[in-house]
Amino acid sequence: MENTLNSAESCPDSVLPANSGSPRHNSLSRAEGKAVGFVLVHAGAGYHSESKAKEYKHVCKRACQKAVDRLKAGAQAVEAVTAALIELEDSPFTNAGMGSNLNLLGEIECDASIMDGKTLHYGAVGALSGIKNPVLVARRLLSEAQKGKLSAGRIPPCFLVGKGAQQWAAGHGIPPCPSERMATKFSMSAYRRNKRKMELAEKVETERCQVKRGRQSNDSDLGALGKVKAIMADEEENDAACLDTVGAIVVDQEGNVAAAVSSGGLAMKHPGRVGQAALFGCGCWAQNSCNANPYSTAVSTSGCGEHLMRTMLARECSAALQAEDAHQALLEAMQTKFIRSPFLASEDCVLGGVIVLRCCRCVETSSDIQALLVEFLWSHTTESMCVGYMSAQDSKAKTHISRLPPGAVAGQSLAIEGGVCRLGSKSE
């Protein structure tokens, strides 16, 4: 991992070691009139092959740049986070939008959600087909809900699924995209490979049952069973990547935060399945500071949707970040609210990851500078997680593929890293 968070002034960053205590607070001030803001993105928690590391990092860099471009143009956090998600969805290497995992029927159904920390409004879609950028529909649902009630006093929807979501999107000017155009060579290859694995698994189970019942017990039959298992093991080794939900979190120059997620869901999922990326408090969370909460917080999750839904991990992490030490708070939240959660007591492998940030305003009396202090972290129990981050002052984004320590067991151990920056502005 690069050891600096480069700014226009080349100020040093404090990158937070996995087992360190509180991060050091470094100044990252700017000249009056320049943009202020920060974005942190992820390309999914799962397994990122070394052979495609450049592609994963590149899409994270592009997503960060898109968000920063919007921030520099004066956009608020919710617009910038949408721009980042569109870039992530458009990449054929991510499991979101274009190139998403296919379900049992060979179809693409996507989930996405977005939350505005300033208004606390939220918009989401689930099991949505035929839309290139699901986050655009979620974003439009959020903005339409902010307009107030519909005719005859009806409450506007904030979460739509399936055909209803697709029809609503078309009615609001979001163009459709044929499913065959959304599937890529990579996603189709993965579908065929997964289908073969399912067929082999069913064959193994059938033959195992026959052996147990004594119908077939000769050496040739047992040998055939061993061959099938060997083929399945080889299929596992050839699996190039296993990724999940992509996401982004942003803080703008006014200190507003926003978060978003998008996902094609689990490979070979049942049609109609909705994952955490669409669900309130599970896929993302964003909340500006208030009297009860001194910090503004934003969270985006990734991993096994069923695990993340049952723990409402996004909201749990957001609440934990109000503690004094953000690093320790996230570490404890991942351990007690996720890995050792009573809601997942029956699971021997708990898979998930989060990116988080928290920010607050502080005034340096010696220089009369009002600064925005941003602490950002990521943590995961999966083998790896690809992240990128950038401030509005940086010339380019930093990227990193975080991996579990050697010997650590995925689903039972976790990695945690991050940093902190101070975005300064002249006080009024």
Task: State the alpha helices, DSSP H only, in 173-311.
Answer: 179-182, 185-212, 219-237, 305-311
Any catalytic annotation for residue 4?
no
Q: Which of 245, 297, 311, 381 is catalytic?
A: 245
Task: Decide: residue 293, CB within 10 A, 0-12 exposed, 13-18 middle, 19+ buried.
Answer: middle
User: At 310, phi and psi to the nearest 5?
Assistant: -70, -15
Token readout for 262 is 């998008």
How far apart CA 333 and CA 379 sit, in angstroms, is: 10
How far from 79 is each of 135, 166, 188, 251, CA to CA, in Å?
Answer: 11, 22, 32, 11
Provide Rg for the chain, Cα atoms: 22
Q: Write b or e for each residue in 301-312: b if 16 or more Cβ atoms lie within 10 A of its Cβ, otherwise e.
A: bbbbbebbbbbb
322 vs 333: CA distance, rounded Å: 12
Contacts of 292 (CB under 8 A, 6+ apart): none
The rounded Cα 12 to chain-centroid distance in angstroms is 27
Identify the DSSP state of 249: E
What does the block give as tokens for 354?
A: 């989060």
* Distance (Å, whole) CA 1 – CA 19: 15
The residues annotated with a catalytic role in the active site are 245
